[in-house]
Amino acid sequence: MIFPERLREGDAVGVISPAGPPDRRHLSCAIGWLKQLGFQVRVGKSALEDHGYLAGSDDERLTDFHDMFADRSIRAVLCSRGGYGSARFADRIDYDLIRRHPKIFWGYSDITYLHTAIRQKTGLVTFHGPMLASDLGYADVPLLSKQLFSQLFQPMSLRYDEHVSALQVLSGGSASGELVGGNLSLLVSTLGTSFEIETRNKLLLLEDIGEKPYRVDSMMNQLRLAGKLEEAAGFVIGDFRLSDEPDEADRARFDEVLASYVAPLHKPAVSGFLIGHCQPHFSVPLGTEALLDADRKQLWIQPGVQ
């Protein structure tokens, strides 16, 4: 794996919108927070564009992506929000450019597609964490969501246990491997492409938002039929926000669906991690070694920077 260099006070960070257009007010608040941390902030040319559900054309968003990686003065590339659209230019990314200029890349949700593509094409460790406009730009963002940004400043091992949130064991045991994955619907959309998620001997992180239990069932079944669940070493189940006011019956069915797919595999599986479309959002590096001890309800993750 390639570990990006840590950040230092005074570094320049780039902001891009690979998918949907951000809320300008919330993005401005998040940029103000970055400046308070001592960063210089450079915003991509199309990062504030609004082309319906896309932040600029595919060419414009791809150009911003390439420009930020090519610019040696930019030490990290931070995504403003998710939505939809990152996969539209994944096949045109210059992955050799990323290998030559490895740096911190941060986001989640739709950005899952880019995390997967970048890691599997280049070996670069990337970060699944809250985004600027859709998370960090709000006045009431929990302190933990901001504190975990500190893992970019120095090599820092992460530990997640029930001091952070209540966890549920779906299957016992322990396993180690690279932590990979992210948004379930985006992972399923990689199947059959050159960016198909690789899960063999890896800890698979899964999260999503706004999906009914039958939709989660369908996507989990597709991963099963593709052999992705059987190949995985274990399962880290993040937040699945069914809706703002989830129906109790839906929640019960959702829990049953997840258990029905992972428990029969007899591999360690734990749910309840605050990773995903939730607050606080526990940010994690993807591609680093991790250990999941389901019996003790603990997850350890190795540092993502050097």
Q: Residue 246 falls within a domain, yes or no?
A: yes
For position 32, which CATH number holds? 3.40.50.10740
Shared domain for 176 and 208, answered yes or no, is: yes
User: Would you call 109 a catalytic residue per the annotation?
Assistant: yes
Q: Which of 152, 186, 220 is the last residue of a domain?
A: 152
Q: Is the pLDDT of residue 246 over 70?
A: no
Q: Is the pLDDT of residue 243 over 70?
A: no
Catalytic residue among 17, 109, 176, 189: 109
Side-chain half-sphere CA neighbours of 126 within 13 A: 28
Catalytic residue among 115, 128, 277, 281: 277
Shared domain for 231 and 270, answered yes or no, is: yes
Q: For position 242, what pLDDT does the model report?
A: 67
**CB distance 62 to 45 below 8 Å:** no
Shared domain for 146 and 229, answered yes or no, is: no
Q: For position 232, what pLDDT does the model report?
A: 98
Q: For position 238, what pLDDT does the model report?
A: 97
Number of domains in the chain: 2
User: Would you call 207 a catalytic residue per the annotation?
Assistant: yes
Its domain, for residue 223, covers 158-301
Kindly report, residue by residue over 34-57, the tens digit of the pLDDT.
999 999 999 999 999 999 999 999
Shared domain for 132 and 164, answered yes or no, is: no
For position 242, which CATH number holds? 3.50.30.60
Q: Mean pLDDT in the chain?
A: 96
14/255: higher pLDDT: 14
Kindly report, residue by residue over 184-238, the tens digit of the pLDDT.
999 999 999 999 999 999 999 999 998 888 999 999 999 999 999 999 999 999 9
Shared domain for 134 and 213, answered yes or no, is: no
**CB distance 95 to 120 below 8 Å:** no
Shared domain for 170 and 119, answered yes or no, is: no
Catalytic residue among 207, 211, 271, 283: 207
**CB distance 280 to 242 below 8 Å:** no
Q: Is the pLDDT of residue 181 over 90?
A: yes
User: Would you call 128 a catalytic residue per the annotation?
Assistant: no
Kindly report, residue by residue over 100-147, the tens digit of the pLDDT.
999 999 999 999 999 999 999 999 999 999 999 999 999 999 999 999
Q: Is the pLDDT of residue 249 over 90?
A: no
